[in-house]
Structures are given as structure tokens and as C-alpha cells.
Amino acid sequence: MTIKCKAAVIRKNDCEKPFANSKPLSIEDISIDNPRDNEVLVKVKGAGLCHSDLSVINGSRIMPLPLVIGHEGSGEVVETGNAINDIKVGDHVVFQFSPSCGRCRRCLEGRPQVCELAAATKGKGELMSGGSRLKSLDGERLNHHTGISCMSEYAVVDRGSVVVIEKSISLDDAALFGCAVMTGVGAVINTARIRSGDSVAILGLGGVGLNGIMGAKLGGAETIIGIDIDETKFSKAKELGATHCMNPQNENFVEEVLDITNGGVDFAIDLAGVMSAMDSAYKIIRYGGAVVTAGLTPVNTQFSFNHSDLVAQEKSILGSYMGSCVPVRDVPRFLNLFKQGRLPVEKLIDDKIGFDQLNEGFDKLDSGKVVRQILVP
């Protein structure tokens, strides 16, 4: 059946701040087509406000407009396509923003998070089987945000865009596992593959960065340095496992890190998405150390480094998309750690809001006043 529901639509990405006044997100009634054979219709229960959404709103990441925004969330399945027999109506799911075709070279390598088909369809604002299922009530096509568009009362997504979870887990908390947890914890556990006793620096202490702190603690890091220019974030970082916190703008920042770690950290994880963080990360790794970056910067941003230093000191720079996660493997194991109290993501949720607070919510995120807010449609 065709669904009519409310959704947050972005039609222009050049609105001035504060967003509470300029309102880049309009709350509109939209129409959602029936799911095709390999798609599911989900009633959204929670959608996280993330900096990746903010980057679309402020134009630093270009997406086809108009677009129903939202890529991190959770919900309950209300309809399944004819070809689906492993998901049923009533199942609770977490969205994940990189479905996979299972046939391209990247998928066959065991790296579904960088599926070539998924990348192409997401860039066009479409689902994996082609086209959009979203329309305004006057018939105008609306684009999908990374194949999810969960800042809506309902979302139709590819089968591969959801992971079924236990019903005992709060869907409000579970929403964060679709992006913040996978990206932050995954960058440390999967991409860096830290070992017990390693020293790790986490640059950027937002929602993803604080998950990186928790990931470093889970991985057994001996020294965990939280780095941010906003020192109000330090207490939360220490609560979650940081052994030290530092402001990179301090005059002796690099020397202090090298002193604490006896020559530099084993891994510097950039979860800030700004080039100043990448520059700092490269300066504080040891001989043989690695920079891992999962922070998305504006398109065409360039990073430079001393090539001779890279070779002579055998350093590494590694990209990490979605924490190098295989969602069907990693979301359940991260949720199990959450249930055990070892991944307390609930401590990152500052507020639960409605559609009428959404633009103001992104102002708060942009200012650094909050870590995570959950839209409850």
C-alpha cells in the first residue's frame, strides 16, 4: 500500500544560521510507494541527528535535492517485498547506510561497506533496485539520503539496509548503532585493529569520537588520549575511558603527546572530519604508527604530508568508511556489548525531540552543545 506520512525535506543547502530561523528542513506530508521485491517498509522509531546530516544541510557534502534526510535510525518492519523471507512484519531493525550487491569486486573481497553499486545509487539519491520511492503529494520526486531517509514517520529501504535486532533492546538506543557506533568503534576495532597495550589518540569528541573512545577501551588500549578544541567535552571522554584529554591548540600539544606516549601514539584516529585534525594526527604518531581517518570532509578537500617521513618512518594513513564494518556481523556484536554494559551508548543521548524541534536541534549539534539527539517521529 502507498503510505502518506510526515518527513523532513531539505530543498536548499545555503540557509543561514541559525537554522531555527532559516528552516532548511521543512516538515512535509509525503507519499511513499510500495516496497519492491527486495525492499522493506519500516515505521521509524528513532533517528539520530548526526554531523553527516549537518554536512548536507550546510552544503559541505553535496546530495541531490530535494531530499528526505536521515541516515542513522531504527524502527519496526510493517511490510516486506515479495522476495524477502528472512525478515517478517513486526521485526525490529537498525538501519545501516551501505547496502551491498554481493557481486561487485569490493563485496567479493568481503568489504560490503564500500560496495560499488551502493555508492553509485546513493550518489543519485536512489535505492539499489533503481529510482526513488518518495514523492511530494503533488508528485514531485524526492531523493533518498544514503538509501535510508529515516527522518520520516516511515522509510522504504533495500533489504540490505536493515539489520534485525532483539526486541528487548530499546529502539531509541539502537538508533545510534546505525552510524555513530559502527563508525567510531569500528574505526578502532576493525580498521586500526588495535591490540591490548596500544596507545590511541581519538581526535574529535563528538558522537562518533566518543564511540571511538569506548572502542579503544574495549580493545584494551593502555593509553587513550581524547583530543578536541572544546574542553567541555573532556569530562564525558574521561567517563567513557579516556586516560588523558588535550586541546590541540595548546602551544606544546605535540610535545606533550610524544612525552606521554614515549615517542608517539600507535594509532591516531581522526573522527573530526577537519584537516587540522588530520595534520595533528600525523604529527603525533610514532615510528611505524598509523593515522586512521573516518571523518568526512567537504568534497575536494586536500591533505598533504611529508612523503620522505612517511617512507623512512614507515607510517600509514588508512581510510575507514562506516568503521570497516560488516553490519550483519558487527551490529549484533556491538549490541551484545551494549547489553553487557561495556558499550554504554545511552550516555551519549542528550535529548529526544519531535519534528518541530528539528531545525533547532541541528543548531545545537553545530554549536557542540549536544552529542546526540534522537528524533522520535
Q: How far is CA 179 from CA 208, 252, 305, in A?
A: 8, 34, 29
Strands 223-227 and 244-246: parallel
Residue with cell 603525533: 284
Which residues does 55 contact at the CB level (< 8 Å), separation at least 6? Answer: 61, 273, 296, 298
pLDDT of residue 218: 97
Q: What is the pTM of this model?
A: 0.95
Q: Is domain 3-178+344-375 given the CATH code 3.90.180.10 in the classification?
A: yes
Select the CATH number that applies to the domain covering 183-321 from these four: 3.30.70.2190, 3.40.50.2300, 3.40.50.720, 3.40.50.300.
Answer: 3.40.50.720
Measured between alpha carbons, how far is 64 from 10 in angstroms, rounded to an integer? Answer: 10
Residue 2 neighbours by CB distance under 10 Å: 9
Domain boundaries in the chain?
Answer: 3-178+344-375, 183-321
Distance CA 300, CA 294 (A): 16
Positive or negative, the Cα torsion across 30, 34, 38, 44? positive
DSSP result, 73-115: EEEEEEEE-TT--S--TT-EEEE-S----S-SHHHHTT-GGG-
- Exposed, middle or buried: residue 312 (CB in 10 Å: 0-12, 13-18, 19+)? exposed
Cell 547506510 locates to 97
Per-residue model confidence (pLDDT) at position 271:
97
Return per-residue pLDDT of the chain as tens, 377 residues. 689 999 999 999 989 999 999 999 999 999 999 999 999 999 999 999 999 999 999 988 889 999 999 999 999 999 999 999 999 999 999 999 989 999 999 999 999 999 999 999 999 999 999 999 999 999 999 999 999 999 999 999 999 999 999 999 999 999 999 999 999 999 999 999 999 999 999 999 999 999 999 999 999 999 999 999 999 999 999 999 999 999 999 999 999 999 999 999 999 999 998 999 999 999 999 999 999 999 888 778 888 888 898 999 999 999 999 999 999 999 999 999 999 999 999 999 999 999 999 999 999 999 999 999 999 99
How many other CB atoms sit within 10 Å of the CB of residue 284?
27
